[in-house]
Structure 1
């Protein structure tokens, strides 16, 4: 029998469950919608006067997403805690530039004195955060300008795209048209730009020109640094994949992450693409730029129908990676959808696709290191493609130190990674095993369940999984051969796990066993309404394992 918690019951410090969610949750969840439906929670204050908006500043994974949903639901950014700090003061002190812009866009008062007696700009300067102080001042100019034009709904669009007043003079009308779709609004802004040029005092004008000149120089230095670092990490220096940003059109935001954002767009006005933008990378931010280069250097090297296709990257104005657009979104989103019908045939095909994508990496001596359903995208034909190589590394001696570090999403992290023993081919196989469980659980129970959903504290998953050898519960009625494959693939000892070609052979054996016993297996299948889901209603080509030759070990199902 499950247990329930009240959405409104506070803890000893007066924190509601929404306070805890905002501070600690590591991934998007429908739970947030339930919290926000209760309007009394949105601005609830704990014993220290802090609202959920104060707490979201400390979230390491989904702070921007949750903060925006809170503000849309009516969170007041100007409620001050007992220490006199508003959420904006917390964001400044934590160096959260993205949250600072979001809070200002939704009406945060930058003149409120905080616990140290400083308003937002003065607080940033007192902490030697001059870049954030400049962002606040630039954001306030945008707010004033767009309110004057009676276009306040564009404030967050401008701030999120980092379009400030001193940029407007240099933005071509064609580019402005991609950002502001409404012609009347666009005409207002163009007229406002002309007025700015006319009314701005010479001293201010030349000061802005100086700032703009510095920013252009910053962009030139960044581009030069990217090219130099690229040549350091990638052998081919011809840059044949380089794309001019003017060839891209940004149509729709698909999501934001810690290092950037992803947009749906088109290239050359015709080709649908996904555009990943690296945000807030200064000339000195070699770490962010290096990670960007590592990711697209892997994307260049691995060209497979089972990985997301890489079209190229832009190095001027913005650092962007341009990739294949997968219409169905992530595998995680698809599995969560209660309307998505999943049967055995489709599950085996999608799992085979995923394994083939990982094998494409492994055959190039690359380890993924962050495989999960969120990092597998699904095409319109329900083909799975592995993506997001941000944590991927070439399996070489030079990367040995990096491969010893615990990386990835905790429910998918293998024991040897948690213990710091290293990352191996079989570590990716462990992650696949968790994904297989997600598929089987959806098929047999009819609903999607997150791995280790019963464990509320994320780091406790590692202790349970690898100190106590706890695994997600395999549903009752699961065919023995399926259970054998899962338990072998998530074996505590990585040496006892199959490699990816063996796992592919195991999935192919399961597919054959299903075809021989389809009626019996379909009785178990609640997700696809008796086995007549997408996979059962249409013929999908068989997936063949490329390379490697015949196996010289026992098949996966025989290893247990």
Structure 2
């Protein structure tokens, strides 16, 4: 509700320093949270006034921390809220977060470290540019001239100054991370992920894992060896946390309740694949925790999935990056296909390719993967995976083969080329507005031969490779070794004719609001 002056109730209270009114509004925490970031007719939020009047009471950032609202904290930090405001309890918002909300404290720490670095370098005037693009200290090594221009920093002198300050981060080598004694598990883990006194033991699971075929070293990790530091996300199979294991930063996947035999069997199959495979192109598997909950402990890839990298428009993904991502993807799947016994991934997509801080691509998520052996024949005829990446023969009930994975590689190559040429991510088949669901896509691809539209500017030989990968007949598709060789040949062509290839890059116009397909 707006007052006659055009301010919100909370905005008026903060502008007049009526803290009794603020406290009264605070009692309805849901309504208060909404008002906290509501703009009045002057384009102001209560934060604007509170920042001016912070000497006497608490800032909106204090209130957001008290509410435990990570989303509000993030909104306020992006808007430029001061982390060093001291409230009536003589504490800053960051100090409050350290006491009660460790995830919020971790987020604030990233801002604090950035601000301190900018101050040390005399670059405080550029704070809003870095905050707007969410570029923190861990990304400073990726700053280049093109990124600065996208940030709105265009003057030559400004760019030289910032690039010089960022230069030391380009050569930094990560060191073993030391555990933080201030963060306890209950501060990071969701309540349903904490150990329960009623958690049942999984009878015989350890013995059955040790008895599995095709794997070498078995590593069962004691839960006490792990430290959980931050929740990264959640999916259909469980939640993923960032953590520490023996001084190394890892990703810890806590699996959902293993109450049924089928779920335990699926876990065992994924454990078997991940324990067997070792390659620089496959995410490293450290081991599994069996009690008090089932966890998979893996290498943490700080940049997230290739899908998310392609979706981030601040990243300049030109031909060099496109070839690197494509070749490393093909090498990762080539490693699976050449393993003895052979492994098929069965759910290959850009979301299941991770990118680490060195921009290296790693194949991950082996929940549907299987050894291509006689014992798995029935399983390999079932339609699994994401339908937009799924080969036609799988729809028709034929056996999933290495050539079915190659079809999926074709889709990923299309994503990469399209992102490179158009300078923005496009989802496979997004140009066909009548296809709203995955099952519609698999029917059209299998029965009508529909494929995503390759950009007209795509070099002919690259387009031919994509078409070969997603050929309707699996026997016509290349092997992963063929794909690697073809990509290397294309990369050589590109390096010999860079000007010609660069002309193919034609950024699409920015989509109007509400017309985003992604």
Which TM-score applies when normalising by structure 2? Answer: 0.60
**Aligned equivalents of 2:236, 2:437: Cα separation in 1:** 21
* Cα distance, 1:409–1:238 mapped onto 2, change above 3 Å: closer
**Aligned equivalents of 1:435, 1:388: Cα separation in 2:** 16
* Cα distance, 1:176–1:448 mapped onto 2, change above 3 Å: closer
- What pairs up with 1:246-325 in 2 under 5 angstroms? 246-268=224-246, 270-282=247-259, 285-325=260-300
Where 1:264 maps in the other structure, the secondary structure is: strand
The partner residue of 2:465 within 485, 490, 500 is 485
Shift of 1:329: 0.6
Once structures 1 and 2 are overlaid, which stretch shifts more, 273-282 or 400-409? 273-282
The partner residue of 1:437 within 393, 410, 414 is 414
Shift of 1:527: 6.3
Which TM-score applies when normalising by structure 1? Answer: 0.55
Are 1:423 and 2:400 an aligned pair? yes
Q: Report the counterpart of residue 310 of structure 2 in structure 1.
A: 335
Where 1:233 maps in the other structure, the secondary structure is: coil
CA contact (8 A) 1:369 1:392 kept: yes
Are 1:229 and 2:208 an aligned pair? yes
* Cα distance, 1:467–1:310 mapped onto 2, change above 3 Å: same
**Aligned equivalents of 1:477, 1:516: Cα separation in 2:** 18
CA contact (8 A) 1:357 1:385 kept: yes
**Aligned equivalents of 2:357, 2:204: Cα separation in 1:** 38
Deviations 1:487-545 (A, max 9, x none): 111000000000110111111111011112111101122469xxxxxxxxxxxxxxxxx
Paired residues in the alignment total 331
Are 1:179 and 2:158 an aligned pair? no
Shift of 1:72: 7.9
**Aligned equivalents of 1:412, 1:236: Cα separation in 2:** 29
CA contact (8 A) 1:376 1:386 kept: yes
**Aligned equivalents of 1:279, 1:175: Cα separation in 2:** 28
Q: Report the counterpart of residue 468 of structure 1 in structure 2.
A: 448
Are 1:405 and 2:382 an aligned pair? yes
Shift of 1:236: 5.9
Are 1:500 and 2:480 an aligned pair? yes
Where 2:348 maps in the other structure, the secondary structure is: coil
Where 1:464 maps in the other structure, the secondary structure is: helix
Q: Which runs of 5+ in 2 are unaligned?
A: 1-36, 39-69, 73-99, 105-180, 189-195, 509-518
Shift of 1:355: 0.8
Where 1:276 maps in the other structure, the secondary structure is: strand
- What pairs up with 1:160-175 in 2 under 5 angstroms? none
Q: Which runs of 5+ in 1 are unaligned?
A: 1-36, 39-70, 74-152, 158-173, 182-210, 529-560
Shift of 1:255: 1.4
* Cα distance, 1:238–1:467 mapped onto 2, change above 3 Å: closer
Q: Report the counterpart of residue 524 of structure 1 in structure 2.
A: 504
Are 1:385 and 2:392 an aligned pair? no
Where 1:289 maps in the other structure, the secondary structure is: helix
Q: Report the counterpart of residue 149 of structure 1 in structure 2.
A: none
The partner residue of 2:489 within 485, 505, 509 is 509
CA contact (8 A) 2:386 2:438 kept: no
* Cα distance, 1:231–1:243 mapped onto 2, change above 3 Å: closer
* Cα distance, 1:356–1:473 mapped onto 2, change above 3 Å: same
Where 1:307 maps in the other structure, the secondary structure is: coil
* Cα distance, 1:330–1:387 mapped onto 2, change above 3 Å: same
